[in-house]
């Protein structure tokens, strides 16, 4: 029996829905007794979000983790946003701030001061406009932790998907895929599922081409060259791995419960089905980092930012998963 897990929530892009969903998750009654939640962001922006959402909460700037107090919203305020930052508009200032929220939270996690990071969405264009040339959170966190290779795992109540490649154009993604990368991705997914309590994960691996290439009818033999060798190696080790499967078949089978995890070869192959099956409760977990990181499975939603219309369920679920993955046994748990 130990103290509550400490979770650092990064506020994301301050011009998007990040402030609203971060605040909503921090004050959610279902999480209040399970963790010490500290937002890394901007106190004034969160107060604006509270007004928009009609939330009555004491929002307090703190200097560090040790200043946390229950019953209020605790914020490590980096003071990087102007008071009059417009909602729903691309901003290099907001992109730079979003980068630093992640940098500070990552530093806290690497130093052992927090048990996990939960990130609100940043905007890639704003991030790049600020001079931070990362395709997204996954690659940024890998760089900040000096991790050579990580994987994106999307989780919904119906299906879980890990990606061999993520933020690459389709031609580049196909070129990047090779047996070693496929093997390492499957291993990371297998370990993540085991850590979540699935003793013997059943894993379905997507093909690249329609109909899994149909014996060379579609594509140029990518399935046999790039995917099959990894599957055969892991099956020989005793893993319950199947494929290469046509992607449409793989997700159908996962949806009815045949597989615990699907391995997608590229970004949209995995993201499309996940967003159809459960974006409102979908979360993004970065697998392979030395720190725990979860996130929402949606973007900054500039079209509704600052309106109070955002669905906060994904952020609450992401925070719940960060708590559950933290490995801290909470008071009252056996």
227 and 320 co-located in one domain: no
159 and 198 within one domain: yes
pLDDT at 331 over 90: no
Q: Please give the biggest Cα pair distance in the chain.
A: 63
Q: What is the DSSP letter of 311?
A: -
Identify the domain boundary among 256, 273, 288. Answer: 288
* Mean predicted confidence (pLDDT) in 264-278: 87
Q: Nearest Cα to 166, choosing from 132, 134, 198, 211?
A: 134
pLDDT at 315 over 90: yes
Q: How many CB atoms lie within 10 A of CB 214?
A: 13
Average pLDDT over residues 169-175: 95
- Domain with residue 35: its CATH number is 3.40.718.10
Burial 323-333 (b: 16+ CB within 10 A, else e): bbbbebeeeee
Average pLDDT on 103-116 reads 97
Same-domain status, 218 and 113: no
Flag whether pLDDT at 329 surpasses 60.
no
Number of folded domains that form the chain = 2
What share of the chain in percent tops pLDDT 70? 96
Is residue 65 located within the same domain as residue 122? yes
Percent of the chain with pLDDT over 90: 75
Quote the domain boundaries for residue 172.
149-288
Question: In terms of domains, do 11 and 31 share one?
Answer: yes
pLDDT of residue 332: 39
Q: Are residues 9 and 129 in the same domain?
A: yes
pLDDT digits (tens, 9 = 90+) for 249-261: 999 999 899 999 9
């Amino acid at each position: 029996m130990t103290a509550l897990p400490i979770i650092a929530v990064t506020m994301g892009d301050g011009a998007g829905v990040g402030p609203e969903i971060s605040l909503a998750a921090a004050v959610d009654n279902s999480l209040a007794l399970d963790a010490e939640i500290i937002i890394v962001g901007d106190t004034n922006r969160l107060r604006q979000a509270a007004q928009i959402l009609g939330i009555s909460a004491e929002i307090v700037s703190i200097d560090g983790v040790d200043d946390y107090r229950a019953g209020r919203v605790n914020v490590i305020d980096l003071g990087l946003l102007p008071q009059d930052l417009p909602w729903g508009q691309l901003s290099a200032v907001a992109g730079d701030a979003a980068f630093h929220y992640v940098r500070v939270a990552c530093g806290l996690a690497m130093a052992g001061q927090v048990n996990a990071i939960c990130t609100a969405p940043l905007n890639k264009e704003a991030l790049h406009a600020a001079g931070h040339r990362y395709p997204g959170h996954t690659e940024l966190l890998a760089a900040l932790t000096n991790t050579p290779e990580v994987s994106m795992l999307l989780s919904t109540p119906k299906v879980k998907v890990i990606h061999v490649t993520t933020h690459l154009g389709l031609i580049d993604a196909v070129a990047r895929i090779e047996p070693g990368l496929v093997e390492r991705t499957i291993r990371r997914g297998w370990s993540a599922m085991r850590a979540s309590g699935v003793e013997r994960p059943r894993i379905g691996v997507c093909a690249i081409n329609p109909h899994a290439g149909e014996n060379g009818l579609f594509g140029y033999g990518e399935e046999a060259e790039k995917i099959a060798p990894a599957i055969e190696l892991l099956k020989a080790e005793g893993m319950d791995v199947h494929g290469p499967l046509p992607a449409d078949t793989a997700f159908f089978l996962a949806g009815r419960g045949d597989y615990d995890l699907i391995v997608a070869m590229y970004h949209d192959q995995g993201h499309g089905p996940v967003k159809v099956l459960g974006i409102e409760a979908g979360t993004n977990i970065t697998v392979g980092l030395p720190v725990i990181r979860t996130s929402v499975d949606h973007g900054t939603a500039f079209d509704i930012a600052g309106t109070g219309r955002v669905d906060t369920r994904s952020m609450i679920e992401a925070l719940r998963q960060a708590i559950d993955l933290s490995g801290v046994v909470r008071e009252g748990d056996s």
